[in-house]
Amino acid sequence: MEESILVERLKKKDSAAFKEIVDTWQAMVYNTVLGIIQNPEDAEDIAQDVFVQVYQSIENFKGQSKFSTWLYRIAVSKALDHLRKKKRKKRFGFIQSLFGKNDELIIDAHDFFHPGIILENKQNAAVLFKAIASLPQNQGIAFVLNKVEGLSYQQIGDIMKLSLSAVDSLLQRAKTNLRKYLQNYYEHNL
C-alpha cells in the first residue's frame, strides 16, 4: 500500500494501518537501533518504543520528507536517548554491552549478531563494532546508516539533517578513524 495512504489511515488511528507499518518497517528500525546500541534486548525494547511514538505522534508527520526518513529519525533519536540515559546513570556506554572495563569479553562475541553484518569470524564482528563505538557519535551513526543499513548519502543527510558534503565529511573521518583504530588493534593483538 502507498505510504501516504497508510499515514492517513494511521492518523485516523486505524489499527490495521499501524500493523502494516510495523510489519513493513520493524526490521529496518530494529537493525538501525541495534547498529547504534549493539544490544539485542535493548534494541527490541527501543524498536517497540519507536513504533509507540509513531502511533502517538503521527499527527506531527507533515509529509515534508518520506515517512521512512521520519521513522529513521525517530529510531536514531530513541537509540541516542537510550545511550544518554545509560551515561547519566553512570552505566557503561554502548560498547560495554560486549566488553568490560579492562576489555574482557562479557558477552561471548559468538552471541552477538547484527543482521546487517555477516562475517565468517564473529570475533571480527565484535572488533568492528568496538571500533565503531570508538567513533564520535555522529560519525558512528553516519557509518552505521551507510555501511550497515546501506543508505545513500542523501538519505543519511535527510535523517541527520545534514548537507551532502557534511555527510561525506563525517563518513571520510569515520573511515580514517576506523582504519587507525583497527590498524592499532591488530598490531597489538596479533
- pLDDT tens figures, 96-151: 444 444 444 444 444 445 555 554 556 677 788 888 888 999 999 999 999 888 89
| Residue 33 belongs to domain with CATH number | 1.10.1740.10
The total number of structural domains in the chain stands at 1
Write the burial class of residue 150 (CB in 10 Å: 0-12 exposed, 13-18 middle, 19+ buried): exposed
Q: Name which of 100, 125, 101 is nearest 111 in CA terms.
A: 125
Mean pLDDT over the full length of the chain = 83
**pTM recorded for the entire structure:** 0.72
Q: Name which of 119, 167, 125 is nearest 142 in CA terms.
A: 167
- Tell me the residue range of the domain where 48 lies: 3-189
